[in-house]
Amino acid sequence: MRLSKKHGVNPSVGVCFWCGNDNGTVILFGSQPRGEKAPDRSVVNYDPCPTCALQFARGIALIECTEHPNDDDRKQPPIQKDHQATLYPTGSYLVIREEAATRLLEPGPMLDGVLAKRRAYMEVAAFQMLNPTQTGEETVASDLDNVTGEDDGT
């Protein structure tokens, strides 16, 4: 690592992309272009913090995504990039139980993949149909008693 002449190791506190809380890491940026100081707090990956990881572990994460970066400077890296799509998470997610996933998806390769990976990426419109907290309307989620996302004590 090249040290910054002005800022040394140029540290920044790691922040969870999903909740915005400190994730217990310190990032050492060192020398930056034009001698810039690193931000005080930085999101550097999509790994959930311990609190969010516990939430994700409760079931299958449905992650809202767009096909373009969601930050002002358009530097957000994709969470997935392959021959089908390049996806950028918005930060919104729901966690559903496996039983709910089997009711939402037809049996087949897509359901098998979601159950194996324990996550699914969803377009904004589809995600909003499942997420009553964003739309404030009656949604598909009202029919899925197995949908979790808020701590319901189970």
Q: Indicate the domain borders of the chain.
A: 11-42, 58-148
What are the pLDDT digits (tens) for 60-114? 999 999 999 988 888 888 898 877 789 999 999 999 999 999 998 899 999 999 9
| pLDDT score recorded for residue 134 | 56
Q: What is the pLDDT of residue 136?
A: 44
Instruction: Count Cβ atoms below 10 Å from residue 97 Cβ, excluding itself.
Output: 17
Token pair recorded at residue 143: 């029919």
Q: What is the pLDDT of residues 9-35, one digit of tens each?
A: 878 889 999 999 998 888 888 888 888
Q: How far apart are CA 67 and CA 87, in angstroms?
A: 5
